[in-house]
Structure 1
Amino acid sequence: MTDARKTFDRRSFLSAATLAGASLAAPAVFAQTPDAGLETFEETANTNMHRNISSFRELDWRPYFSNTKNGAILVDTVSRCLHFWSEDQSIYKLYPTSVPVSDELTRRGRTEVIRKVKGPTWSPTPSMKKRNPDWPDFVPAGPDNPLGTRALYLSWQYYRIHGTHDTRKIGRKSSNGCIGLYNQHIEQLFDLAKIGTQVVLI
């Protein structure tokens, strides 16, 4: 195995910029990342891709859950935020998130947390590997891992709520289907959520 395979180097995923004819001096840089594929990060204040972080509002759990047994997580893919209620409803959290890049990759409905992992490893899904054969088969835990410092695995295969070391993604459409949070936020949520915590994506 080569050193390039052993170490996940984000710079190796910038080749899309060259192929697209983009330059570092252009208003937007196109970066190919393992979490999202082709992604746009705007570098100017005048942008159509706004983060929506300032548009958050508190919600009540009742329209979405019949109870808060084991806690409840609501992910709003439109406003790009995650709501958490503890089982006894004494704790309420609201976090900005990243969301999938397209409707085709967005799954909505009911699921639950089935596994909690500190220092998660990452492997591309078969479809991601097919689209990007040069991506590594496995990335160990650490600063180059696309899942950040913590991951909540859902009952839907390949879907997770996880952290990210790339803070530019938060508030944007920037994933292949997962929901991303700042590392400090997923660490809080990780401690609050349980195996069996209810999850609804809308």
Structure 2
Amino acid sequence: MSTPTRSALSRRNFLTSAVAVGAASSLAAPAFAQAVDAYTGQTLQQVGPTGATPDAGLVQYDTTKDSRHNISSFTMQDWQPHFQNLTNGAILVDLTSRALHFWSEDGQTYRLFPTSVPVSPELTRTGRTEIIKKVEGPTWAPTPSMKKANPEWPDFVPAGDPLNPMGTHALWLSWQYYRIHGTHDTRKIGRKSSNGCIGMYNEHIKQLFGLTKVGTQVVVL
């Protein structure tokens, strides 16, 4: 019998730890489910790693400042205060209400979705950008700093893997590392819980993916 490769062992350890955590979470009290990240097996922490990265790794949120659980207190908005026109459609990400608004180019379609937002001001970027790439079934790889801190993590997680923190669809923004994407971890939605990206329920990012195009305007405020 051949000896398993290092990458195979790393992925096995990664998957085993995540499955173990998931099983334990189903038996433990709700507080435990909010104390451990289902994908990494790591303890949830307050603001830690610096720098904007794809929304992966530790789930972070400050329980002393954020008492809402998967709830975004948002209302409908008009596009005119934020955009000069609707060319290519428009997305407004409201960090305060933790909501994403979409308007189609012809103004006939409007959608409002709850989101997750960055956990701290240091990880937050605001201003004007646009969609530069659309990916259905995004893959994920840990950043160098994540890999250094967790050498047992796999070098690559394929599309469709339930452990993939990018969810089912992703919209690349012109800002490096910033994306609007899905998530399998629904605890994140409605919370300050990302390392810079904007997270959405997978069923919602799928809808948004179908409505947007490369060039769709984006404002984050």
The TM-score normalised by the length of structure 2 is 0.76
Deviating runs (4+, > 6 A) in structure 1? none
> Which residue of 49, 61, 82 maps to 2:67?
49
Residue 175 of structure 1: CA displacement? 1.1
- Cα gap change, 1:6/1:65 in structure 2, threshold over 3 Å: closer, same or farther? farther
Matches within 5 A, 1:39-188: 39=60, 48-51=66-69, 53=71, 55-142=73-160, 143-188=162-207
Paired AA for residue 150 in structure 1: H
SS for the counterpart of 2:101 is strand
Q: Which residue matches 2:31?
A: 27
Residue 25 of structure 1: CA displacement? 4.7
Q: Is the 8 A contact 2:90 2:102 kept in 1?
A: yes
2:217 is aligned with 1:198: yes
Q: Identity across aligned pairs (percent)?
A: 62
Larger Rg: 2
Q: How many residues align?
A: 190
- Cα gap change, 1:171/1:38 in structure 2, threshold over 3 Å: closer, same or farther? closer
Distance (whole Å) between structure 2 residues aligned to residue 59 and residue 72 of structure 1: 12
Paired AA for residue 27 in structure 1: A
Q: Is the 8 A contact 1:163 1:181 kept in 2?
A: yes
> What whole-Å deviation, never above 9, does each CA across 1:130-157 have from its counterpart, x for those lacking one?
4444433211111221111100011111
Structure 1 gaps, min length 5: 16-23
* Larger deviation, residues 122-131 vs 144-153: 122-131
Residue 66 of structure 1: CA displacement? 0.8
Distance (whole Å) between structure 1 residues aligned to residue 119 and residue 149 of structure 2: 15
Name whichever structure is richer in strand by fraction: 1
